[in-house]
Amino acid sequence: MKKTTTRLADGRELIYYDAHDAAVRDAADRRPLDPVSTASEVRHDRLLGDFVAVASHRQGRTYHPPADACPLCPSREGRHSEIPAADYDVAVFENRFPSLAGDSGRCEVVCFTSDHDASFADLTEDRAALVLDAWTDRTAALSRLPGVEQVFCFENRGAEIGVTLGHPHGQIYAYPFATPRTERMLRTLAAHRRATGGANLFDDVVADELADKRRIVIEGEHWLAFVPYAAHWPYEVHLYPRRRVPDLPALDEAARTEFPRIYLELLRRFDRIFGPDAPPTPYIAAWHQAPVHAEDRAEFALHLELFTIRRTSGKLKFLAGSESGMNVFINDVPPEAAAERLREVASET
């Protein structure tokens, strides 16, 4: 992997990740951009104990531009984008309209293909491995920034999810706090350790799924994918490395090598859930990593949660009264049925 760091016209950082050392990234950003001005702040909810990012400047962000005005496509003569190069493998840059900025954290955009009409599932295994390298490198770099407590790599796909740019891409958030969801996992982890005399809850969950077998989707030598027993979403898969590690930089070479094949197969199955004539499945793919400074971070298990809000062809799962008002999910698809469907649509070998 070759890494090239440069700056956009307004001073934001841009990093190219290339598979070949011969790649040259010297194209300059020639846009007449003013320095980025943000109004991001993090507020604490005293009743719930969690945090809300208030970012009014995001009201003016780019919203569903036509393909010929896409800010994530490579630049060309007469139309300059966020990526000055005429082509790229993987490019990561500071978000122009960040939810978190300055003392309130940092937001980055991850572009993993220059093809506007592609998706992550269309990548080769080599390109998917390069994306994993980029996620890993950025996790390590952002974790070293003063004030950063947790790094979150994720991809939103589909207008139904709320994506405002059609070009395939992901994001990375560096939070100035440990997220409420992760804090809740850590509390449950600690309670389980006390109740069992030292057992690790993540290890026990994985062991239980392996013993049950009904919800297993893919078993690799170094990764395991399964629908969780109490899945919140209609189709939801959790992907764990078999050797528990707290974050992406801690993955060993064997897990890194196998990951692209397993993950690409999962994404391709998601696109086949609802049949050959269904539009691409909207999804969220979310990496859960240990907070940077958590005392028990070694007990945390890195994992990826992949889920869709589509419950059947043409119908979405909306977060209505119980889910939005009380955070109690009601799932219309039994996890065992979801796992069976995801096994049915496996790629032919």
Cα separations in angstroms, 43 against 39, 55, 101, 143, 239: 13, 11, 13, 22, 32
Residue 79 lies in a domain: yes
User: Could you list the active site residues?
Assistant: 169
Domain annotation covers residue 187 = yes
Q: Which residues pair with 90 in a beta bridge?
A: 17
* Cα–Cα distance, 144 to 136 (Å, whole number): 13
pLDDT band at 62; cut points 50, 70, 90: confident
67-86 tens-digit pLDDT = 889 999 999 998 999 999 99
> Among the three residues 175, 194, 227, which one is the final residue of a domain in this structure?
175
* 187 and 50 in a common domain: no
State whether 244 and 296 are in the same domain: yes
pLDDT digits (tens, 9 = 90+) for 2-48: 999 999 999 999 999 999 999 999 999 999 998 877 878 999 999 99
What secondary structure, in 3-state letters, does 245-279 show?
CCCHHHCCHHHHHHHHHHHHHHHHHHCCCCCCCCC
124 plus 271 within the same structural domain = no
CATH number of the domain that 263 lies in?
Answer: 3.30.428.10
Question: Among 175, 199, 232, which residue terminates a domain?
Answer: 175
CA 217 to each of CA 210, 243, 306: distance values in angstroms, whole numbers, following the listed order:
11, 18, 12
Q: CA–CA separation, 24 vs 117, rounded Å?
A: 25
Residues 134/17, Cβ–Cβ less than 8 Å = yes
Number of helical H runs and strand E runs in the chain? 6, 15
Question: Do strands 51-55 and 106-111 pair parallel, antiparallel, or not at all (unpaired)?
Answer: unpaired
Q: Report which DSSP code applies to 114.
A: S
286 and 204 share one domain? yes
The average pLDDT across 110-120 equals 97
My answer on whether 215 and 313 are in the same domain is yes
Within a domain: 45: yes
Question: Taking 90 as the threshold, does the pLDDT of residue 112 lie above it?
Answer: yes
- The whole-angstrom separation of Cα 331 and Cα 232 is 6
Q: Are residues 334 and 231 in the same domain?
A: yes
Sorting pLDDT into bands at 50, 70 and 90, what band is 57?
A: confident
Same domain for 158 and 189, yes or no, is no
- What is the value of pTM for the model shown? 0.95
Q: Note the pLDDT tens digit of each residue in 229-278.
A: 999 999 999 999 999 999 999 999 999 999 999 999 999 999 999 999 99
CA-CA distance, 19 to 23, in Å (whole number)?
8
CB of 303 within 8 A of CB of 238? Answer: yes
**Domain region containing 171:** 2-175
Residue 21 lies in a domain: yes
pLDDT of residue 60: 66
- Smallest CA-to-CA distance from 82 within 156, 8, 26 is with 8
Residues 293, 179: Cα–Cα separation, whole Å: 13
Q: Please check whether residues 195 and 318 belong to one and the same domain.
A: yes
Task: Assign 3-class secondary structure to 221-233.
Answer: CCEEEECCCCCCC
Question: What pLDDT sits at residue 349?
Answer: 58
With H, G, I as helix, E, B as strand and everything else as coil, classify residue 236: strand
Q: Helix, strand, or coil here: 322? A: helix
* 111/249 same-domain check: no
Q: In this predicted model, what pLDDT tens digit does every residue of 317-349 receive, in sequence order?
A: 999 999 999 999 999 999 999 999 999 999 975
Asked whether residue 316 falls in the same domain as residue 221, the answer is yes
